[in-house]
Amino acid sequence: MRRFRRHGHESQRDRLKQELFHFNKTVEHGFPHQPSALGYSPSLQLLAIGNRSGAIKLYGAPGVEFMGLHDENAAVTQVHFLPHQVELVTLLDDNSLHMWTLRAHKGLSELLEIGRFMLTGPPGAPPSVTRVTAVLAHSSGELLLLGTEGGHVFVVEVPGFRELEERNISLDQVSNRLVTSAQHTNLEHVEALQENPVNPNQVVIGYGRGLMIIWDLEKQRAIQHIPATQQLESVWWTEDGSYILSSHSDGSYCRWMVGAEDVNEEEEKSDIPYGHFPCKAISKIVQLPTEKGPPFLLFSGGMPRASYGDRHCITVIQNKTQVALDLTSRIIDFFVIRDGPKHTDPSALVVLVEEELVVIDLQTEGWPVIQTPYLVPLHSSAITCSHHISTIPIKLWERVIAAGELQNTHYSKKPWPITGGQNLAPDPPQRDLLLTGHEDGTVCFWDASGVCLYPMYKLSTAAVFHTDADPNDNMNQGTEGEWPPFRKVGCFDPYSDDPRLGIQKIHLCKYSGYLTVAGTAGQILVLELNDEAAEQTVEAKVVDLLQGQEGFRWKGHTRLDVREEPVLFPPGFQPFALVQCQPPAVVTALTLHSEWKLVAFGTSHGFGLYDYQQKNNVLIKCTLNPSDQLAMEGPLSRVKSIKKSLRQSFRRMRRSRVSLRKHHVNNAAKAELAEMELAPVQRKIEARSSDDSFTGLVRTLYFADTFLSDSSHNTPSLWAGTNGGCVFAFMLRLPPVEHRADEPVTAQPAKEIQLMHRAPVVGIVVLDGHGAPLPEPLEVAHDLARSPDLQGSHHLLVISEEQFKVFTLPKVSAKMKLKLTAVDGSRVRRVGVAWFGSSRSEDYGESGLVVLTNQGDLHVVSLPGVKMQVQYPCIRREDVSGIASCVFTKHGQGFYLISPSEFERFSLSTRHVVEPRCLVEVPLHSDNSTKHRPLHDGFSSAHGCVPSVCLSQCCRYLVVCRLSDCLCFLPEVLQEIQKSLEGDQTHVAGLKRTSFIGSFTEILFLT
């Protein structure tokens, strides 16, 4: 019956849903988790990072980003761009090679996997024969040389991965030529492959044992043997082709003359840079000439084993200057970007370490660090919470940027050196801020408007408190005459002085610039944006949330110790008020109303209301259940229990290993193991009762100007929801504005709702007479929101973990509800109010609730009708930290952590989508580069005349656009083509810059 009756309406609604909601994951912000390989294409100016879970990410100019994922879940061990091509090759842990390309499609480039390849050895050969250890992408762009564990070098034609067996360099061929037989017994694996920069027919093959052979690819024979005796780590062929540098496991490097004759020469120069005592290996060495002046020598590692063996260093030496850059984590790889008129001068050193990317400006005195516009380590201290604010007013935006710039004076002024690709994404329609709170008490402000999550400003709250760390003892570097000459670079610093400083909740009013942050030890700071530095004392107010409840003893940490003397705060957000909860439990809910100048905060014991104008407490309410002892234990004793359970599980693991080892002899152990495996995971089925633990924990706080007591007068009110399904409402009386500073603010209890299902209340929203959520404070005053409808009746929406329930106001009676848990077993973890604009008509939009469940599914629930609209799977349900970290924007987007260092951005809206849109074109070689490598630039004589090659490449990589556009712009386009065919590079660039990009093939066809 119902189905037939409402059919028409339903289909209309379905169409509307399609116009309003669309889910996709758009971009990953931050630093890739567990990077394992680095690659760089000087011609494309693109950086590639592979990680241990098989993802490959490409970065160019800010906004130019690509991401690919290997089907195999294996770590990426090497990434190599094919020189002067848009292809790149990745080598995975499982010995498979993959070919990727950037293919243009509808005006945008896409990263696509176009081939895969696994080296196959002769039948019966051990797997080590084909285990790839070194890859050389030959400058011809057509060959790939693969050195293997067995010592062979296989030659493969790319991009098709065709094995050229006749050109393989087998171990026999090499060792036959060896004069001394001592070495040829075991050359070990191929450690390094390098091409002669001036003669692409020559490659040097470095074997693990130390022997290096210069091989002529054309003549298929070895030209020269270089008999190094130390275990080889890396090989570098100098720019002029006359020397080979080799680095070794004992911390030494050697320089060898490249001669024409096959003679065993003595090394020309050998050095152990940090010598005398045993040193660690130099894992990579690079020497680069400069236009005028001495060359740069850069190498990683080589530190004295005993004293600095645990440091992660890259040493840069030029002339008399030597610096050992002391990085924050293990070095994955590094490369040097070169610019200058002939692209020879080293301009920037790019180092990928395990936790961040560091770029050093090599052309500015002192080699300062260049701030990265992307790949910023979000987790420089662990992220503890995040908060998103949409549509920041330009005034606040500029002030935050100004404050941030003052913090960044130590960075290089040089622009970001990696500039490949074009960012075609439209300018973001609004300015969005993402605030992340960190374990060390800092709050980072990120520009989240676009594809690049760019750091704007960093606020530290630690200065307000006495901490164990002495502010003077950090960075005691620079002591004179220290050797090696260390210099700390990078910002990754996971060590927190005091875990109590951790930020748990953040609330920023974008109109007034008031910020409140709350932390682990029950501290609530109220901060104000000030463009000048100020020295001030922060007055602390202790709030006893127990309110005389008897019989509780707090077993957790103590309150933070507040500095009583004035503290100098730099320009930016400066604290002026501090509330400290007693017991100092983690702050679990926080909200600020800048119009009323009130801050509400809650912990597991109760909640309070603080007037930050008069700096006093308005209200304290204890929500603690007298029988709830667990709430008083504090986080530390919880940690203890986790430790205990960890210990138990380790014990269990050990036991099971033992039993595994004795598998054959000990049947009892086997039985025990079997029992352990069979021991079922059980779940108790029990109705929630008021005796449960943490029922008093305050989950949400909300300010609303609504009809609390009667339907004719709206009053300010504070709402609080607890873990035990209880909602408290307080009526607030604010003095008139002129007496705001001296008359007290009062709060009196007005309502209390105990939800029968007792599920935790995770959200409270008041809907106005139109069913729209009430606007934020000051939003109406700034003309940015419609003032709420105060004529119609307001509704209260209480969101618990289990259901959505609408009540009437002021008389609280249930109007409608939507059950979630009872129907599909999922529970609400995160909820936010968002506005969804229709993709079809500009002026239609509706508000909705965005919900993330513990199953990792996203739902949109309509307002005010609380009807389920759409559902999308988003996060794996096992990814608890990902689900817990999710924040929603006001326009239907969201962020969640996919690793400690990366945010995934998703969008549920059809209208607000931030995703990378970029184009990378095939490099057209400039004169000097073609001169530099004359024979292998794709202009080879085999392809006939140069223009045709150029054209064919253009056809391959430029973008196809609609035929109609081609027609209307035809004359202009043809002109452009003509010019470009004449070899005028700038015109080609100009053509690309015009947003119209035509298909050359189509146009040629038309002509």
CA angle, 110 then 113 then 118, to 5°: 165
From the list 5-13, 223-231, 504-512, 618-626, the region that binds other proteins by CB under 8 A is 618-626
Which two three-digit tokens encode residue 226? Answer: 């270089």
- Beta carbon of residue 749, minimum distance to other proteins (angstroms, whole number): 5
Subset of 742-761 contacting other proteins (CB under 8 A)? 748-757, 759
CB nearer to other proteins: pick between 64 and 818: 818
Cβ-based nearer residue to other proteins, 263 or 685: 685
Min. distance of Cβ 794 from other proteins in angstroms? 13
How many amino acids of this chain bind other proteins (CB under 8 A)? Answer: 51
By beta-carbon proximity to other proteins, the closer residue of 398 and 752 is 752
* Best CA proximity match to 333, nearest among 390, 286, 393: 286
List the one residue out of 983, 973, 979 whose CA is nearest residue 1004: 973
- How near is the Cβ of 621 to other proteins at its closest, in Å? 9
> Following CA atoms 421, 426, 427, 432 in sequence, which dihedral angle do they give, to the nearest 10 degrees?
-100
Pair of tokens at residue 856: 């990792």
The smaller minimum CB distance to other proteins, of residues 369 and 796, is found at 796
- Does 341 bind other proteins (CB under 8 A)? Our answer is no
Please state the closest distance from residue 813 (CB atom) to other proteins, in A. 4
661 contacts: CB under 8 Å, gap ≥ 6: none
Q: Which is nearer to other proteins, 626 or 947 (CB)?
A: 626
- Is the Cβ of residue 5 or residue 410 nearer to other proteins in the bound state? 5
> Using the rule CB under 8 A, is 712 a contact of other proteins?
no
Stretch that binds other proteins, among 307-315, 351-359, 532-540, 684-692 (CB under 8 A): 684-692
| 686 contributes a contact to other proteins by CB under 8 A | yes
Residues linked to residue 350 through DSSP beta bridges, in sequence order: 335, 359
Stretch that binds other proteins, among 252-260, 466-474, 621-629, 982-990 (CB under 8 A): 621-629
* Contact present, 44 and 109 (Cβ < 8 Å): no
Burial of 231 per CB tally in 10 Å (0-12, 13-18, 19+): middle
Q: Considering all CA atoms of the chain, what is the largest pairwise distance in Å, rounded to the nearest integer?
A: 104
Site for other proteins in 522-541 (CB under 8 A): none
| Residue closer to other proteins, measured from CB, 276 or 684 | 684
Q: How far is the CB of 500 from other proteins (least distance, A)?
A: 29
The residues in 846-885 that bind other proteins, with binding defined as CB under 8 A, are 854-855, 877
Shorter beta-carbon distance to other proteins: residue 306 or 823: 823
For other proteins, give the closer residue by CB, 815 or 987: 815
Task: Output the smallest distance, CB 607 to other proteins, in A.
Answer: 13
Give residues 942-981 in contact with other proteins (rule: CB under 8 A): none
Nearest to 94 by CA among 121, 67, 131, 128: 131
762 touching other proteins, by CB under 8 A = no
Residue 806 or 913 with smaller CB distance to other proteins: 806
**Which residue lies nearer to other proteins by CB, 477 or 754?**
754
Name 998's bridge partners: none
In this complex, which beta carbon is closest to other proteins, that of residue 224 or of residue 800? 800
Strands 243-248 and 253-257: antiparallel
Nearest approach in angstroms of CB 915 to other proteins is 32
Print the binding letters for residues 626-665 with other proteins: x by CB under 8 A, - otherwise.
Answer: x---------------------------------------
CA 672 to chain centre: 44
Is the Cβ–Cβ distance between 137 and 80 less than 8 Å?
yes
Q: Which of 975, 974, 973, 971 is nearest to 996 (CA)?
A: 973
AA letter at 434: L
Question: Rule CB under 8 A: is residue 625 a binding residue for other proteins?
Answer: yes
For the bound state, the minimum distance from the C-beta of residue 677 to other proteins, rounded and expressed in Å, comes to 13
CB of 623 to other proteins, least distance (A): 8
The secondary structure of 91-103 as a DSSP string is EETTSEEEEEEEE
Which tokens sit at 330? 């293990």
In terms of CB distance, is 501 or 820 closer to other proteins?
Answer: 820
By beta-carbon proximity to other proteins, the closer residue of 720 and 918 is 720
Identified binder of other proteins from the candidate list 684, 736, 738, 1007, rule CB under 8 A: 684
d(CA 206, CA 799): 65
Residue reference for tokens 């389920």: 868
Among 47, 726, 833, 849, binds other proteins (CB under 8 A): 726
Q: Which amino acid is at 838?
A: S
Closest to other proteins by CB, 364 or 855: 855
Task: Annotate 441-459 with b (16+ C-beta within 10 A) or e (fewer).
Answer: bbbbbbbbbbbbbbbbbbb
- Kindly write down the DSSP assignment for every residue of 210-235, as one continuous string: SEEEEEETTTTEEEEEEE--SPEEEE
682 lies in the binding site for other proteins (CB under 8 A) = yes
Nearer residue to other proteins within complex by CB, 410 or 683:
683
Q: Which one, 363 or 690, has the nearer CB to other proteins? A: 690
CB of 683 to other proteins, least distance (A): 4
> Applying CB under 8 A, does 623 fall inside the site for other proteins?
yes
Separation between Cα atoms, residue 615 and residue 540, nearest integer Å: 9
Closest CB 4 distance from other proteins, rounded Å: 16
By CB under 8 A, the residues from 784 to 843 that bind other proteins are 802-803, 805, 807-808, 812-816, 819, 821-827
* Distance of closest approach, residue 678 Cβ to other proteins, in angstroms: 10
Q: Does 683 bind other proteins (CB under 8 A)?
A: yes
Among 622, 669, 961, 1006, binds other proteins (CB under 8 A): 622
Give the tokens for residue 175.
Answer: 């060792």
| Cβ–Cβ under 8 Å, residues 785 and 753 | no
Q: What span, in angstroms and rounded, lies between the C-alpha atoms of 851 and 833?
A: 9
604 binds other proteins (CB under 8 A): no
Is 731 a residue that touches other proteins (CB under 8 A)? yes
- Strand pairing of 232-237 and 221-227? unpaired
For tokens 């220290």, the residue is 482
77 vs 714, beta carbon nearer other proteins: 714
Closest CA to 386 of 904, 854, 26, 872: 904
Helical spans, DSSP H, in 288-429: 305-308, 394-407
State how far the Cα of 49 lies from the Cα of 35, in Å rounded to an integer.
7
Q: How far is residue 974 from each of residues 87, 861, 967, 991, measured CA to CA in Å?
A: 29, 53, 11, 11
Please give the Cα distance from 86 to 77 (Å, whole number): 20
Query: Phi then psi for 407, rounded to 5 degrees?
Result: -85, -15
Angle at the Cα of 20 from the Cα atoms of 16 and 21, rounded to 5 degrees: 115
User: Closest separation between CB of residue 28 and other proteins, Å?
Assistant: 27
Phi and psi angles of residue 133, each rounded to the nearest 5 degrees, phi first: -115, -25
Which range, of 357-365, 567-575, 678-686, 779-787, touches other proteins by CB under 8 A?
678-686
Minimum gap (Å) between residue 998 Cβ and other proteins: 51
Task: Please give the Cα distance from 30 to 35 (Å, whole number).
Answer: 12
Which sign, positive or negative, has the C-alpha torsion 13, 16, 21, 22? positive
Q: Cis (ω within 30 of 0) for the bond into 864? A: yes
Shortest separation between residue 69's beta carbon and other proteins, angstroms: 26
Residues 691 to 710: which contact other proteins by CB under 8 A?
Answer: 691, 709
Site residues (vs other proteins, CB under 8 A): 622-623, 625-626, 680-691, 709, 726, 731, 748-757, 759, 802-803, 805, 807-808, 812-816, 819, 821-827, 854-855, 877
